[in-house]
Amino acid sequence: MSNSDVFQDALNRVREIGADADINPEVVESLLYPKAVIKASLPVRMDDGSTKYFTGYRCRYNDVLGPTKGGIRYHPQVTGEEVQALGLWMTIKCALLRLPYGGAKGGVIVQPKELSPMELERLSRAYVRAMADFIGPQVDIPAPDVYTNARIMGWMMDEYEAIKRVRSPGVITGKPVSLGGSLGRDEATGRGAYICIRELALKQDWQPEKTRIAVQGFGNASYHVARLLQKDGFKIVAISDSQGGIYSDSGFDIESLWKEKQSSRQVRAVYCEQSVCQLVEHKEITNEELLALDVDVLVPAALEGVITNDNVKSIRAKNIVEVANGPIQTEAEAELEKQGVSILPDVLVNAGGVTVSYFEWVQNRGGYPWDLEEVRSKLEVQMTRAFEQVWKLATTENRTFRNAAYTVALRRIGEAVTSHGTREYFREDE
């Protein structure tokens, strides 16, 4: 599915769920158009002395609930349409978690693996120079996303402060802890997803040792969710990255796989004891084969649009938990529902990242850092409360989890829109 299709798919989902949940049409209409989108050319001096131009985007999608919030991704397939779709999803996500934020997103068309560290820094600073009047701690707060990290956020904050001539740690979240970042931010998305799966398992009486899980993608978020699930006794039988994956019916040791991934940049089936690692029995599989595995839980944790009409008939998992944003195309989701597949949606599952980013912003504004246990405890409260609200609505009103999550979020956005006045207020004489 193309990135333009991803945005139209996101809009269609809002229309359909809004109509089904009897949301005021003005509220739905307000979510079909981004508030502002900026596209900029970013000149970067390369190490060989030449100047190369990269295209950068930033979308402030909706700010009815507060300043906008969303990550910045570096990827060769970034488009304006993709950024808008991600901004819309972030709007829903923040409303669902009761965060005082709207949604935003940004990106640069680049293959970051082809840049040197110094070129990467120059690109990051160029992005902020282009966006300095578009972002701000009370306006729009960026964060890390695909192929960006805490170091890059530190460069961006430093550049913003140099331009504005003011100390402003709250302009960026996901920073290094030494520069005002929050403890627990690196694990937040994965920990939030783990909490959702754990709560679902409790509701449905799963036995961890008999629950087989396949994870597509092996980045920071998927590492933490897999690590925490394995610690609880769940069996992680398959893991993949963009190059391919591995499968073993007996499961893998996630810490060993992660250690090997960091050193070799490959997903390899190993078991490590201290510094000694050895290969374990496994089968090499493709990402498509991983999606089609006969497992209890499938966790798509890579990029959007990986489950489509072309491969939906091959899905055999009875539960899908979306750690990635928008991994399932709407038409494919309709087919999965016919097959009886339960889908825990991205706007709930991966909301741990933006939640702890909010905690970081609060700490920056208050000038008072929290310890790790306080961050984890507050995240636990936020995620379990949101899960319970979605579960209750889904089970009492016979809705899908996605429909329930969007309904909760749309109702909250609707309350804010209605407070400004809708047609019913201004034409009450009718």
Q: What is the 3-state secondary structure (H, E, C) of 120-145?
A: HHHHHHHHHHHHCCCCECCCEEEEEC
* Residue 345, Cβ density class (10 Å: 0-12 exposed, 13-18 middle, ≥19 buried): buried
Q: At what angle do helices 401-420 and 80-96 cross, to 10 degrees?
A: 90
Enter the tokens of residue 199. Answer: 């709560």
Q: What is the 3-state secondary structure (H, E, C) of 138-167?
A: CCEEEEECCCCCHHHHHHHHHHHHHHHCCC
Q: Give which of 328, 353, 333 is closest to 146, Cα–Cα.
A: 353
3-state secondary structure of 428: coil
Q: Give which of 8, 2, 88, 71 is closest to 219, Cα–Cα.
A: 71
135 and 171 in contact (C-beta within 8 Å)?
Answer: yes
Residue with tokens 């741990």: 352
283 carries an active-site annotation = no
**From the candidates 105, 175, 235, 261, which is the catalytic residue?**
105
Cα-Cα end-to-end distance for the chain: 45
Q: How far apart are CA 27 and CA 40, in angstroms?
A: 30
Rounded to the nearest angstrom, the gap between the alpha carbon of residue 191 and the centroid of all alpha carbons in its chain is: 12
Q: At what angle do helices 3-20 and 80-96 cross, to 10 degrees?
A: 30
Q: How far apart are CA 64 and CA 420, in angstroms?
A: 10
DSSP state letter for 60:
E
Q: How far apart are CA 163 and CA 155, in angstroms?
A: 12
Q: At what angle do helices 80-96 and 352-366 cross, to 10 degrees?
A: 80
Which residue type is seen at 420? Answer: H
Residues 86/88/92/97 CA torsion (nearest 10 deg): 50
Helix segments in 42-141, DSSP class H: 80-96, 117-131
Strands (E), 204-274: 212-216, 235-241, 244-247, 270-273
What is the set of active-site residues? 105
